[in-house]
Amino acid sequence: MVRPGSALSLVLLLLACGTMAGCQVGPSHLLEPDTIARQVGAHYGDPHARVVRARSDSTEADHTPMYLMTVAGQVRKDGVRASTITFSALATRLYVWDVRAFDGAGQQVWSDDEWNGCSSSCGSGAPTGGG
């Protein structure tokens, strides 16, 4: 017989969390920079955007794993094209902030404060620091 608090109870809790709104990816299941780059690139018009640089970091307040990223592609916002974007992204769920876009000459051409790539079922917390 299995007692409450046993390994089976933990497994059932983890399975339930996988189906509930607001659950986040655990530390052993972090999003890969390539996955984030494709999703962010697609959001800005280029699903084939690629990672130029990704540095691991963590948020200041709660030490949530994150990346500082540079992505190359043919991205655009409001019709303005850019060839690279830099941003911060959580590694536990698709949440991106401090997006800055640069043209081929390295001049900033637009920015976005934040972008939550999750549907409303992904959770609602915003990052607490930019690293």
**DSSP-assigned beta bridge partners for residue 15:** none
Domain assignment present for residue 125? The answer is no
> How many separate domains does the chain show?
1
Domain assignment present for residue 120? The answer is no
**DSSP-assigned beta bridge partners for residue 50:** 72
What was the pLDDT predicted at 102? 98
Tell me the pLDDT of the chain (131 aa) as tens digits.
Answer: 444 443 333 333 333 333 333 444 445 689 999 999 999 999 999 999 999 999 999 999 899 999 999 999 999 999 999 999 999 999 999 999 999 999 999 999 999 999 877 543 343 344 434 44
- Edge-first strand order for the sheet with 50-58 is 50-58, 65-77, 80-90, 95-102, 108-116
Q: Is the pTM here over 0.85, yes or no?
A: no
Domain assignment present for residue 127? The answer is no
Per the structure, the complete domain to which residue 80 belongs is given by: 28-113
What was the pLDDT predicted at 116? 79
Domain assignment present for residue 76? The answer is yes
